[in-house]
Amino acid sequence: MSETLIEVADNAGIVRLTVSRPKALNALNSAVISELAGVLDDLEQRDDLRAVLITGAGEKSFVAGADIAEMRDKTPEQARAFAGQALKTIKRLETLPVPVVALVNGFCLGGGCELALACDWAVASDNAIFGQPEVLLGVIPGFGGTQRLPRRVGPAMAIDLVTTGRKIDAQEALRIGLVNRVMPQAELEAYAEELTKQLGGNGPEAVRGAKQAVHDGLDQDLDSALALETSLFALCFAGEEQREGMSAFVEKRKPNF
């Protein structure tokens, strides 16, 4: 039997995915990407999904990038196919209708940083190291880094990171807005568990709408994006969550979503 490259653990709709290639610091090769795509086939079918957390096996690395050894001898056509396969899969993770949290320990480089950028949340331990070191290998980011990084941290800092290839520590990643929180390593697990529980406990339709408004709106001009917000806001009133949430407030009780 082939080894499991994406471990899946499920706790009442909160699903934890662990990229598990610790000997290569969890580098993403085509087998990992294919397995992730297979896991997403299942997750996309589930209507009880509340939140997804993605992390890397071990404490040394989230994901140290795409697999350099596998990429080394690729032709341009093969490189395009590999990037295309990964981009499509990462986009599917990004557009899951639930919050997706990257739990980052250690190295979060290249394709690993690009994977984290596709997540709604990134929480990092204080030993985390981020970077887009592709230029040091004679290439550019290919899993979305040149596009998602400037959208997350602004173009100046993105240009800095993708043209120098320099690594930054967790505090700098927090300062530039690449991650949402930094924790001492010993506290990270408990924090992530609490966060996913909290996110998973909010009304799923409202969370889905809020996420969709932010993501889809960013790709549109302001007026179109505001119109999208209005449509998604109005749509909330077609479901049960809005009535339950507002009734709970008025009745001074906790909502039951």
Interface with ligand HXC (CB under 6 A): 24-25, 27, 64-69, 82-83, 107, 109-111, 133-134, 137, 141-143
From the list 7, 77, 114, 189, the catalytic residue is 114
Cα–Cα dist 171/150, whole Å? 18
Residue closer to ligand HXC, measured from CB, 24 or 228: 24
The per-residue b/e assignment along 86-119, b for 16 or more CB within 10 angstroms, e otherwise, is bbebbebbbebbbbbbbbbbbbbbbbbbbbbbbb
CA 37 to chain centre: 14
CB of 14 to ligand HXC, least distance (A): 28
Residue closer to ligand HXC, measured from CB, 69 or 234: 69
Tell which phi-psi region holds residue 204, choosing left (phi > 0), alpha (psi between -120 and 50) or beta.
alpha
CB of 119 to ligand HXC, least distance (A): 16
94 has catalytic annotation: no
Task: Judge contact between 17 and 26, C-beta under 8 A.
Answer: no
CB of 6 to ligand HXC, least distance (A): 17
Residue closer to ligand HXC, measured from CB, 134 or 241: 134
Cα-Cα-Cα-Cα torsion 32, 135, 146, 91, nearest 10 degrees, comes to: 0
114 has catalytic annotation: yes
From the list 7, 35, 44, 134, the catalytic residue is 134
End-to-end CA distance of the chain: 41
CB of 77 to ligand HXC, least distance (A): 13
Active site residues: 114, 134
